[in-house]
Amino acid sequence: MKTKRIYYIAVPFLIVIIALLLNFFSWNINSTGVLFGNQSESPIKSEVEKTKAFEIQDTFRKIFDLYKNTVVFITTEQIVKVRHPFFDDPVMREFFGKNNNPQVRKRTGLGTGFIISEDGYICTNHHVINGMDKINVNINDKNYEAKIIGSDEKTDIGLLKIEPKEKLQPAYFGDSDRVQVGDWAIAIGNPFGLDKTFTVGVISAVGRRDVDFMGGAHIQTDASINPGNSGGPLINIYGEVIGINRMIYSKSGGYMGIGFAIPINTAKAVLLQLQKYKKVKRGYLGVNIFLLSDEDAKKLGLPNNEGAFVGEVMENSPAHIGGILVGDIILKVNNTDIKSSRDLIDLIEKSQIGDTLKVVVLRNRKIENLSVKIKERP
Protein backbone atom coordinates (compact mmCIF):
# COMPACT_ATOMS: atom_id res chain seq x y z
CA MET A 1 0.00 0.00 0.00
CA LYS A 2 2.84 2.37 0.71
CA THR A 3 4.09 1.84 -2.81
CA LYS A 4 0.71 2.90 -4.22
CA ARG A 5 0.61 6.07 -2.07
CA ILE A 6 4.00 7.12 -3.31
CA TYR A 7 2.96 6.39 -6.87
CA TYR A 8 -0.22 8.41 -6.65
CA ILE A 9 1.54 11.35 -5.07
CA ALA A 10 4.35 11.23 -7.62
CA VAL A 11 2.15 11.29 -10.71
CA PRO A 12 0.26 14.56 -10.02
CA PHE A 13 3.52 16.17 -8.92
CA LEU A 14 5.12 15.13 -12.22
CA ILE A 15 2.18 16.60 -14.17
CA VAL A 16 2.67 19.95 -12.40
CA ILE A 17 6.40 19.92 -13.18
CA ILE A 18 5.74 19.17 -16.87
CA ALA A 19 3.22 21.99 -17.07
CA LEU A 20 5.68 24.43 -15.52
CA LEU A 21 8.46 23.33 -17.90
CA LEU A 22 6.22 23.73 -20.96
CA ASN A 23 5.27 27.19 -19.77
CA PHE A 24 8.96 28.05 -19.22
CA PHE A 25 10.07 26.94 -22.70
CA SER A 26 7.11 28.71 -24.31
CA TRP A 27 8.13 31.91 -22.52
CA ASN A 28 11.83 31.43 -23.32
CA ILE A 29 11.29 31.05 -27.08
CA ASN A 30 9.47 34.35 -27.30
CA SER A 31 11.72 36.28 -24.92
CA THR A 32 15.14 37.91 -25.19
CA GLY A 33 18.27 36.12 -23.97
CA VAL A 34 17.92 36.89 -20.28
CA LEU A 35 19.19 33.52 -19.10
CA PHE A 36 21.81 33.07 -21.81
CA GLY A 37 23.55 36.42 -21.64
CA ASN A 38 24.08 38.92 -24.40
CA GLN A 39 23.39 37.27 -27.77
CA SER A 40 25.46 39.76 -29.76
CA GLU A 41 29.09 39.09 -30.75
CA SER A 42 31.76 39.68 -28.12
CA PRO A 43 33.27 43.18 -28.56
CA ILE A 44 36.82 41.83 -28.21
CA LYS A 45 36.50 38.97 -30.72
CA SER A 46 38.01 40.88 -33.65
CA GLU A 47 40.85 42.16 -31.45
CA VAL A 48 41.68 38.70 -30.07
CA GLU A 49 41.88 37.28 -33.59
CA LYS A 50 44.83 39.62 -34.22
CA THR A 51 46.79 38.54 -31.13
CA LYS A 52 49.66 36.07 -30.74
CA ALA A 53 47.49 34.00 -28.42
CA PHE A 54 45.00 33.41 -31.23
CA GLU A 55 47.83 32.46 -33.59
CA ILE A 56 49.06 29.88 -31.06
CA GLN A 57 45.55 28.49 -30.68
CA ASP A 58 45.32 28.17 -34.45
CA THR A 59 48.67 26.36 -34.47
CA PHE A 60 47.41 23.88 -31.87
CA ARG A 61 44.40 23.15 -34.08
CA LYS A 62 46.63 22.58 -37.09
CA ILE A 63 48.84 20.19 -35.13
CA PHE A 64 45.82 18.18 -34.03
CA ASP A 65 44.58 18.01 -37.63
CA LEU A 66 48.06 16.91 -38.71
CA TYR A 67 48.11 14.02 -36.21
CA LYS A 68 44.49 12.90 -35.97
CA ASN A 69 45.19 10.19 -38.56
CA THR A 70 48.63 9.33 -37.15
CA VAL A 71 48.06 8.69 -33.44
CA VAL A 72 46.53 5.25 -32.86
CA PHE A 73 44.56 3.62 -30.06
CA ILE A 74 46.06 0.30 -28.91
CA THR A 75 44.13 -2.36 -27.01
CA THR A 76 45.81 -5.53 -25.82
CA GLU A 77 44.72 -8.93 -24.59
CA GLN A 78 46.68 -11.49 -22.62
CA ILE A 79 45.54 -15.01 -21.76
CA VAL A 80 46.54 -15.95 -18.22
CA LYS A 81 45.96 -19.16 -16.29
CA VAL A 82 45.06 -18.66 -12.66
CA ARG A 83 44.66 -21.38 -10.05
CA HIS A 84 41.97 -20.76 -7.47
CA PRO A 85 43.58 -19.82 -4.11
CA PHE A 86 41.23 -22.36 -2.54
CA PHE A 87 43.59 -25.09 -3.74
CA ASP A 88 46.65 -23.50 -2.12
CA ASP A 89 45.50 -25.13 1.10
CA PRO A 90 46.86 -28.72 1.22
CA VAL A 91 43.84 -29.85 3.27
CA MET A 92 41.46 -28.63 0.55
CA ARG A 93 43.54 -30.30 -2.15
CA GLU A 94 43.44 -33.57 -0.21
CA PHE A 95 39.70 -33.32 0.32
CA PHE A 96 38.67 -32.26 -3.21
CA GLY A 97 41.38 -34.10 -5.10
CA LYS A 98 44.25 -32.92 -7.24
CA ASN A 99 42.22 -32.30 -10.39
CA ASN A 100 42.27 -28.53 -9.94
CA ASN A 101 42.70 -27.22 -13.49
CA PRO A 102 43.65 -23.52 -13.57
CA GLN A 103 41.09 -21.02 -14.78
CA VAL A 104 41.74 -19.22 -18.06
CA ARG A 105 41.25 -15.45 -17.90
CA LYS A 106 41.75 -12.53 -20.25
CA ARG A 107 43.76 -9.54 -19.09
CA THR A 108 43.24 -6.40 -21.16
CA GLY A 109 45.24 -3.19 -21.48
CA LEU A 110 45.19 0.20 -23.18
CA GLY A 111 47.89 2.30 -24.78
CA THR A 112 48.82 4.68 -27.54
CA GLY A 113 51.09 4.51 -30.56
CA PHE A 114 51.87 6.52 -33.65
CA ILE A 115 52.44 5.62 -37.29
CA ILE A 116 56.03 5.95 -38.51
CA SER A 117 55.70 4.63 -42.08
CA GLU A 118 53.11 4.65 -44.84
CA ASP A 119 53.04 0.85 -44.93
CA GLY A 120 52.01 0.36 -41.32
CA TYR A 121 54.93 0.42 -38.89
CA ILE A 122 53.82 1.78 -35.51
CA CYS A 123 55.91 2.95 -32.57
CA THR A 124 54.78 2.44 -28.97
CA ASN A 125 56.17 1.45 -25.55
CA HIS A 126 57.59 -1.97 -24.73
CA HIS A 127 55.47 -2.15 -21.58
CA VAL A 128 52.27 -1.63 -23.59
CA ILE A 129 52.78 -4.73 -25.77
CA ASN A 130 55.15 -6.98 -23.83
CA GLY A 131 53.77 -10.49 -23.30
CA MET A 132 50.47 -9.76 -25.03
CA ASP A 133 48.71 -12.49 -27.04
CA LYS A 134 46.57 -10.15 -29.12
CA ILE A 135 47.12 -6.52 -30.10
CA ASN A 136 44.50 -4.38 -31.82
CA VAL A 137 45.23 -1.00 -33.41
CA ASN A 138 42.38 1.41 -34.02
CA ILE A 139 42.84 4.24 -36.53
CA ASN A 140 39.76 6.43 -36.84
CA ASP A 141 37.38 3.54 -36.06
CA LYS A 142 39.21 1.12 -38.38
CA ASN A 143 40.58 -1.90 -36.54
CA TYR A 144 43.76 -3.75 -37.47
CA GLU A 145 45.38 -6.76 -35.87
CA ALA A 146 49.01 -5.93 -35.18
CA LYS A 147 52.06 -8.13 -34.81
CA ILE A 148 55.12 -7.36 -32.73
CA ILE A 149 58.21 -6.80 -34.89
CA GLY A 150 60.49 -6.20 -31.94
CA SER A 151 60.59 -4.74 -28.46
CA ASP A 152 63.35 -3.46 -26.17
CA GLU A 153 62.91 -3.48 -22.40
CA LYS A 154 65.89 -1.24 -21.61
CA THR A 155 64.63 1.74 -23.62
CA ASP A 156 60.93 0.76 -23.30
CA ILE A 157 60.39 1.01 -27.06
CA GLY A 158 58.27 -1.36 -29.15
CA LEU A 159 57.65 -1.68 -32.89
CA LEU A 160 54.37 -2.99 -34.33
CA LYS A 161 53.26 -3.72 -37.90
CA ILE A 162 49.78 -3.69 -39.40
CA GLU A 163 48.74 -4.43 -42.98
CA PRO A 164 46.63 -1.52 -44.24
CA LYS A 165 45.03 -1.49 -47.69
CA GLU A 166 45.82 2.20 -48.13
CA LYS A 167 48.81 4.42 -47.40
CA LEU A 168 48.91 5.76 -43.87
CA GLN A 169 49.96 9.18 -42.57
CA PRO A 170 53.29 8.86 -40.72
CA ALA A 171 54.56 11.24 -38.06
CA TYR A 172 57.11 13.97 -38.71
CA PHE A 173 60.28 13.42 -36.69
CA GLY A 174 62.04 16.35 -35.00
CA ASP A 175 65.45 16.65 -33.36
CA SER A 176 65.26 15.96 -29.62
CA ASP A 177 68.83 17.21 -29.15
CA ARG A 178 67.57 20.74 -29.90
CA VAL A 179 64.76 20.68 -27.34
CA GLN A 180 65.06 23.38 -24.67
CA VAL A 181 63.37 24.04 -21.36
CA GLY A 182 60.37 26.29 -21.92
CA ASP A 183 59.55 24.94 -25.39
CA TRP A 184 55.92 24.07 -26.08
CA ALA A 185 55.09 20.39 -25.51
CA ILE A 186 51.98 18.67 -26.89
CA ALA A 187 50.82 15.17 -25.98
CA ILE A 188 48.22 13.27 -27.98
CA GLY A 189 46.98 9.93 -26.72
CA ASN A 190 44.22 7.82 -25.22
CA PRO A 191 44.24 8.38 -21.45
CA PHE A 192 41.79 6.02 -19.75
CA GLY A 193 40.60 5.04 -23.24
CA LEU A 194 39.55 8.59 -24.19
CA ASP A 195 40.56 8.54 -27.84
CA LYS A 196 42.83 11.29 -29.25
CA THR A 197 43.03 13.48 -26.16
CA PHE A 198 45.12 16.61 -26.85
CA THR A 199 47.00 18.26 -23.97
CA VAL A 200 49.48 21.13 -23.94
CA GLY A 201 52.33 22.12 -21.64
CA VAL A 202 56.00 22.98 -21.79
CA ILE A 203 59.32 21.20 -21.59
CA SER A 204 60.18 21.18 -17.88
CA ALA A 205 63.65 19.61 -18.13
CA VAL A 206 65.91 17.81 -20.59
CA GLY A 207 68.42 15.04 -19.96
CA ARG A 208 66.54 14.02 -16.83
CA ARG A 209 68.28 11.10 -15.10
CA ASP A 210 67.68 11.56 -11.39
CA VAL A 211 64.51 9.44 -11.35
CA ASP A 212 64.54 5.68 -10.84
CA PHE A 213 63.99 4.22 -14.30
CA MET A 214 65.99 2.50 -17.03
CA GLY A 215 66.85 3.69 -20.50
CA GLY A 216 68.99 6.81 -20.24
CA ALA A 217 68.10 10.49 -20.32
CA HIS A 218 64.45 11.56 -20.62
CA ILE A 219 62.54 14.71 -21.51
CA GLN A 220 60.37 16.01 -18.67
CA THR A 221 57.11 17.81 -19.42
CA ASP A 222 54.07 19.14 -17.60
CA ALA A 223 51.75 18.35 -20.53
CA SER A 224 49.09 16.12 -19.00
CA ILE A 225 49.98 12.42 -19.35
CA ASN A 226 47.85 9.70 -17.76
CA PRO A 227 47.43 5.91 -17.95
CA GLY A 228 46.67 5.11 -21.59
CA ASN A 229 49.00 7.84 -22.92
CA SER A 230 51.96 5.45 -22.89
CA GLY A 231 53.54 5.13 -26.32
CA GLY A 232 52.02 8.30 -27.74
CA PRO A 233 53.98 11.18 -29.28
CA LEU A 234 55.31 14.27 -27.54
CA ILE A 235 55.20 16.99 -30.19
CA ASN A 236 56.81 20.42 -30.53
CA ILE A 237 55.18 23.61 -31.81
CA TYR A 238 56.34 22.79 -35.34
CA GLY A 239 54.31 19.59 -35.40
CA GLU A 240 57.35 17.34 -35.04
CA VAL A 241 57.63 14.35 -32.71
CA ILE A 242 60.39 14.96 -30.17
CA GLY A 243 59.64 12.12 -27.77
CA ILE A 244 57.62 9.03 -26.89
CA ASN A 245 55.50 9.50 -23.77
CA ARG A 246 56.50 6.85 -21.27
CA MET A 247 55.54 7.45 -17.65
CA ILE A 248 54.53 9.89 -14.95
CA TYR A 249 55.91 10.59 -11.50
CA SER A 250 53.06 10.45 -9.04
CA LYS A 251 52.35 9.66 -5.40
CA SER A 252 48.65 9.11 -6.10
CA GLY A 253 48.79 7.22 -9.41
CA GLY A 254 47.27 10.20 -11.21
CA TYR A 255 48.72 13.18 -13.06
CA MET A 256 50.77 15.57 -10.89
CA GLY A 257 52.44 17.68 -13.59
CA ILE A 258 55.54 15.50 -14.01
CA GLY A 259 55.71 13.32 -17.10
CA PHE A 260 58.62 11.74 -18.95
CA ALA A 261 59.22 11.02 -22.62
CA ILE A 262 61.93 9.04 -24.41
CA PRO A 263 63.88 11.42 -26.72
CA ILE A 264 63.05 10.66 -30.36
CA ASN A 265 66.73 10.61 -31.35
CA THR A 266 67.22 7.72 -28.95
CA ALA A 267 64.11 6.03 -30.31
CA LYS A 268 65.15 6.31 -33.96
CA ALA A 269 68.30 4.25 -33.43
CA VAL A 270 66.34 1.62 -31.50
CA LEU A 271 63.51 1.43 -34.05
CA LEU A 272 65.94 0.90 -36.93
CA GLN A 273 67.44 -2.07 -35.11
CA LEU A 274 64.07 -3.52 -34.15
CA GLN A 275 63.02 -3.39 -37.79
CA LYS A 276 66.27 -4.98 -39.00
CA TYR A 277 67.09 -7.50 -36.25
CA LYS A 278 63.82 -7.70 -34.24
CA LYS A 279 65.96 -6.83 -31.21
CA VAL A 280 68.56 -4.24 -30.23
CA LYS A 281 72.19 -5.13 -30.90
CA ARG A 282 74.12 -2.71 -28.75
CA GLY A 283 77.48 -1.40 -29.80
CA TYR A 284 80.33 -0.67 -27.45
CA LEU A 285 83.57 1.27 -27.32
CA GLY A 286 85.48 -0.90 -24.85
CA VAL A 287 86.71 1.62 -22.31
CA ASN A 288 86.17 2.30 -18.63
CA ILE A 289 85.68 5.99 -17.96
CA PHE A 290 86.72 7.75 -14.77
CA LEU A 291 85.60 11.11 -13.47
CA LEU A 292 87.99 13.95 -14.16
CA SER A 293 88.40 16.09 -11.04
CA ASP A 294 89.12 19.82 -11.04
CA GLU A 295 92.59 19.06 -9.67
CA ASP A 296 93.29 16.55 -12.46
CA ALA A 297 92.12 19.04 -15.06
CA LYS A 298 94.44 21.70 -13.62
CA LYS A 299 97.44 19.33 -13.75
CA LEU A 300 96.67 18.55 -17.38
CA GLY A 301 96.39 22.22 -18.27
CA LEU A 302 92.68 22.05 -19.03
CA PRO A 303 90.36 25.03 -18.48
CA ASN A 304 87.74 22.77 -16.82
CA ASN A 305 87.00 19.13 -15.98
CA GLU A 306 84.95 18.45 -19.10
CA GLY A 307 85.66 15.33 -21.13
CA ALA A 308 85.76 11.58 -20.51
CA PHE A 309 88.95 10.31 -18.85
CA VAL A 310 89.97 6.84 -20.12
CA GLY A 311 90.99 4.69 -17.14
CA GLU A 312 91.04 1.33 -18.91
CA VAL A 313 91.00 0.02 -22.50
CA MET A 314 89.73 -3.52 -23.12
CA GLU A 315 91.89 -5.73 -25.31
CA ASN A 316 90.69 -6.17 -28.93
CA SER A 317 87.86 -3.71 -28.31
CA PRO A 318 86.94 -0.99 -30.84
CA ALA A 319 88.80 1.54 -28.67
CA HIS A 320 91.93 -0.64 -28.57
CA ILE A 321 91.86 -1.23 -32.33
CA GLY A 322 91.19 2.46 -32.98
CA GLY A 323 94.20 3.62 -30.96
CA ILE A 324 92.63 4.99 -27.78
CA LEU A 325 95.05 4.74 -24.84
CA VAL A 326 94.76 4.75 -21.06
CA GLY A 327 95.09 8.36 -19.90
CA ASP A 328 93.46 9.85 -22.99
CA ILE A 329 90.72 12.41 -22.44
CA ILE A 330 87.94 12.10 -25.01
CA LEU A 331 86.86 15.62 -25.92
CA LYS A 332 84.73 15.15 -29.04
CA VAL A 333 82.99 12.38 -30.96
CA ASN A 334 81.69 13.18 -34.45
CA ASN A 335 82.01 16.91 -33.71
CA THR A 336 79.87 16.57 -30.57
CA ASP A 337 81.47 17.91 -27.38
CA ILE A 338 81.89 15.30 -24.64
CA LYS A 339 81.41 17.17 -21.38
CA SER A 340 81.07 14.10 -19.17
CA SER A 341 81.23 10.32 -19.27
CA ARG A 342 77.44 10.28 -19.55
CA ASP A 343 77.62 12.19 -22.84
CA LEU A 344 79.96 9.55 -24.23
CA ILE A 345 77.72 6.68 -23.11
CA ASP A 346 74.64 8.30 -24.68
CA LEU A 347 76.43 8.87 -27.96
CA ILE A 348 77.69 5.28 -28.17
CA GLU A 349 74.19 3.97 -27.41
CA LYS A 350 72.80 5.98 -30.33
CA SER A 351 75.45 4.63 -32.71
CA GLN A 352 74.82 1.71 -35.04
CA ILE A 353 77.07 -1.33 -35.22
CA GLY A 354 79.59 -0.71 -37.99
CA ASP A 355 79.52 3.09 -37.62
CA THR A 356 82.93 4.76 -37.78
CA LEU A 357 83.27 7.53 -35.20
CA LYS A 358 85.69 10.43 -35.41
CA VAL A 359 87.17 10.72 -31.93
CA VAL A 360 89.19 13.69 -30.68
CA VAL A 361 91.34 13.00 -27.61
CA LEU A 362 93.80 14.97 -25.52
CA ARG A 363 97.02 12.98 -25.04
CA ASN A 364 100.07 14.40 -23.31
CA ARG A 365 98.64 17.91 -23.78
CA LYS A 366 98.34 17.35 -27.53
CA ILE A 367 95.23 16.84 -29.64
CA GLU A 368 94.97 13.48 -31.44
CA ASN A 369 92.36 12.59 -34.09
CA LEU A 370 91.30 8.93 -34.21
CA SER A 371 88.78 6.75 -36.03
CA VAL A 372 86.92 4.05 -34.12
CA LYS A 373 84.57 1.49 -35.68
CA ILE A 374 81.75 0.41 -33.38
CA LYS A 375 81.33 -3.35 -32.84
CA GLU A 376 78.54 -5.37 -31.22
CA ARG A 377 78.84 -5.73 -27.47
CA PRO A 378 80.08 -9.26 -26.63
Q: Where are the domains of the chain?
A: 71-161, 176-277, 283-376
Alpha helices in the chain (DSSP H): 2-29, 45-48, 52-67, 90-96, 126-129, 264-277, 294-299, 318-322, 341-350
Query: What's the mean pLDDT in 169-177?
Result: 96
What confidence tens digit (pLDDT) does each residue in 244-258 have? 999 887 776 667 889
Kindly name the residue from 126, 151, 152, 156 that is annotated as catalytic.
Answer: 156
Query: Are the C-beta atoms of 156 and 261 separated by less than 8 Å?
Result: no
pLDDT at 80 over 50: yes
Q: Is residue 127 annotated as part of the catalytic site, yes or no? A: yes
Is-same-fold flag (71-161; 283-376)?
no
Nearest in space to 265 (alpha carbons), one of 179, 159, 200? 179
pTM equals 0.76
Cα dist. 23→29, 147, 187 in Å? Answer: 10, 61, 48
Give pLDDT, residue 24: 45
Among 3.40.50.360, 2.30.42.10, 3.40.50.2000, 3.20.20.10, name the CATH number for the domain at 283-376: 2.30.42.10
Kindly name the residue from 176, 204, 224, 230 that is annotated as catalytic.
Answer: 230
Give pLDDT, residue 87: 56
Does CATH number 2.40.10.10 belong to domain 71-161?
A: yes
The alpha carbon of 273 is separated from its chain's Cα centroid by a whole number of angstroms, namely: 18
Query: Are the C-beta atoms of 203 and 221 separated by less than 8 Å?
Result: yes
Among 3.40.50.300, 2.40.10.10, 3.90.550.10, 3.40.1410.10, name the CATH number for the domain at 176-277: 2.40.10.10
Give pLDDT, residue 19: 47
More confident residue, 95 or 220: 220
- The pairs formed by 374-377 with CB atoms below 8 angstroms and a separation of 24 or more are 374/283, 374/284, 374/285, 374/318, 374/348, 375/283, 375/284, 375/317, 375/318, 376/281, 376/282, 376/283, 376/284, 377/281, 377/282, 377/283, 377/284
Give pLDDT, residue 236: 97
Nearest in space to 207 (alpha carbons), one of 305, 329, 351, 347? 347
What confidence tens digit (pLDDT) does each residue in 289-315 have? 988 888 888 887 778 888 899 999 999
Nearest in space to 118 (alpha carbons), one of 57, 170, 74? 170
From first CA to last CA, the distance across the chain in angstroms is 85
The DSSP line for 63-91 is HHHHHTTTEEEEEEEEEEEE--GGGGSHH
Rounded CA separation 129/133 (Å): 9
Rounded CA separation 191/200 (Å): 14
